[in-house]
């Protein structure tokens, strides 16, 4: 009985920090905005797209704070257009209505 036995335990959830409120939450609860290597900025619904990412709570208040602080542009090191913010607000509305 000298074999090593590994206990199978659930890994703790991967935490990410919201750029709006600064609170750490599980990755699944946040929206991800990503800047690809070609400079294109988009919303990453899968959470797995390659590129530099920034996370925000699916909450209007956090999105507004992030916009006011210009947090996405700083986190992604790239300017963000208004259409990205509009799309994020749409996704927040969708999550709230569910």
Distance of CA 36 to the CA centre of its chain: 14
Contacts with 24 (C-beta within 8 Å, 6 or more apart), sequence order: 15, 16, 17, 18
Distance of CA 14 to the CA centre of its chain: 12
Positions of E strands within the chain: 15-17, 24-26, 30-35, 41-44, 52-57
pLDDT per position as a tens digit, 46-75: 889 999 999 999 899 999 999 999 999 999
Give 83-96 pLDDT, tens digit per residue. Answer: 998 998 888 888 77
Domain boundaries defined on the chain? 15-97
DSSP code string of 51-76? SEEEEEESSHHHHHHHHHHTHHHHHH
Query: What CATH architecture does domain 15-97 belong to?
Result: 2-Layer Sandwich (3.30)
């Amino acid at each position: 009985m000298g074999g090593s036995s590994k206990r199978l335990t659930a890994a703790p959830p991967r935490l990410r920090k919201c750029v709006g409120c600064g609170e750490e939450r599980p990755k699944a609860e946040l929206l991800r905005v990503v800047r690809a290597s070609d400079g294109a900025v988009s919303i990453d619904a899968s959470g797995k797209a390659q590129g530099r990412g920034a996370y925000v709570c699916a909450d209007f208040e956090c999105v507004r704070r992030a916009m006011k602080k210009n947090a996405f542009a700083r986190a992604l090191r790239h300017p963000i257009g208004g259409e990205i913010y509009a799309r994020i607000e749409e996704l927040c509305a969708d999550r709230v209505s569910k």
